[in-house]
Amino acid sequence: DAGVIQSPRHEVTEMGQEVTLRCKPISGHNSLFWYRQTMMRGLELLIYFNNNVPIDDSGMPEDRFSAKMPNASFSTLKIQPSEPRDSAVYFCASSPVAGGVGNEQFFGPGTRLTVL
Amino acid sequence: KNQVEQSPQSLIILEGKNCTLQCNYTVSPFSNLRWYKQDTGRGPVSLTIMTFSENTKSNGRYTATLDADTKQSSLHITASQLSDSASYICVVSPNTGNQFYFGTGTSLTVIP
């Protein structure tokens, strides 16, 4: 298996622009997680899905952030409009077991976002 | 307040030496604690997971210990190798709700 696939790997954009990050989870996995990582705050859980349904989005920082999972093999994280403080590495992870955040998660390589 | 604190923040050791990383948490009620290794430019990879009843668990040269009474965990690396250079992140899950708590990690550098 190719593991969790994220695209793009790097994104540089200007403040105010819309940014869309994409994730393909490991086939057969039932849970998908979006994280943000910065030097100051470490890893933060933004949102997670079980069987394509959003379960907990309390970590989404603002209404500018939205996430969708239209099917079991694809998810997007959108930031509109983007701001410089959104600059971070965004990770997607998937887990073979639905229902809990404590199960092992398999992380993608991340998308490094820079907002100028 | 649920928190996870790791120490030291960074560590440099010589290849072949042992080291121990610490994780203290206040998360309650406790469900499990996981150690992740994150290589530079990569996503985290799970090393070990420990539940309330487990005191120690090994994964090759990595050995994690857990003291649920004092809410402390350690990750011991034996005979370090250059490839051990990475960030090590402690993650604690409560047994209620859908949240979990990340430490900010320990950055380990192994030098020849």
| pLDDT of amino acid B12 | 98
Q: Which residue in chain A has the smallest CA separation from B31?
A: A102
The Cβ-side half-sphere exposure at A46, using a 13 Å CA radius, reads 27
| pLDDT of amino acid A90 | 98
Asked if residues B64 and B6 have their Cβ atoms less than 8 Å apart, the reply is no
Give the mean model confidence (pLDDT) for residues B78-82: 97
Q: How many CB pairs under 8 A join A and B?
A: 49
| pLDDT of amino acid A85 | 95
List residues bridging with A31 in a β-sheet: A50, A95
Q: Residues 7 to 26 of B: which have CB under 8 A from any A CB? A: none
Structure tokens at A50: 């079980």
The Cβ-side half-sphere exposure at A38, using a 13 Å CA radius, reads 11
CA distances from A36 to A65, B2, B60 (A): 12, 19, 30
CB nearest B43 (choices: A44, A58, A91): A91
| pLDDT of amino acid B96 | 66
Give the mean model confidence (pLDDT) for residues A7-15: 97
Q: How far apart are CA A101 and CA A94, in angstroms?
A: 10
| pLDDT of amino acid B98 | 59
Instruction: Of B88, B86, B81, B84, give the one whose Cα is nearest residue B104.
Output: B88
* Mean pLDDT, chain A, whole residue set: 92
| pLDDT of amino acid B101 | 87
Instruction: Of A31, A14, A48, A17, give the one whose Cα is nearest residue A96.
Output: A31
Collapsing DSSP to helix, strand or coil, B79 comes out as coil
Whether A56 shows a pLDDT value over 90: the answer reads no
Whether A10 shows a pLDDT value over 70: the answer reads yes
CB nearest A107 (choices: B43, B102, B104): B43
Give the mean model confidence (pLDDT) for residues A48-70: 91
pLDDT band at B22 (very low <50, low <70, confident <90, very high): very high
Please give the residue that has the higher pLDDT: either B61 or B98: B61
Interchain contact A105–B (C-beta under 8 A): yes
Report the length, in residues, of chain B: 112
Q: Do A107 and B41 touch (CB under 8 A)?
A: no
CA distances from A74 to A67, A68, A94, A98, B92 (A): 11, 9, 11, 16, 28
CB nearest B100 (choices: A4, A102, A108): A102
Whether A5 shows a pLDDT value over 90: the answer reads yes
Instruction: Of B80, B92, B79, give the one whose Cα is nearest residue B6.
Output: B92
| pLDDT of amino acid A98 | 66
Q: Do A45 and B99 touch (CB under 8 A)?
A: yes
Stretch among A88-92, B13-17, B19-23, B102-106 having the lowest mean pLDDT: B102-106
Please give the residue that has the higher pLDDT: either A30 or B77: B77
B40 CA: distance to closest CA in chain A (Å): 10
Whether A114 shows a pLDDT value over 90: the answer reads yes
Q: How far apart are CA B40 and CA B49, in angstroms?
A: 22
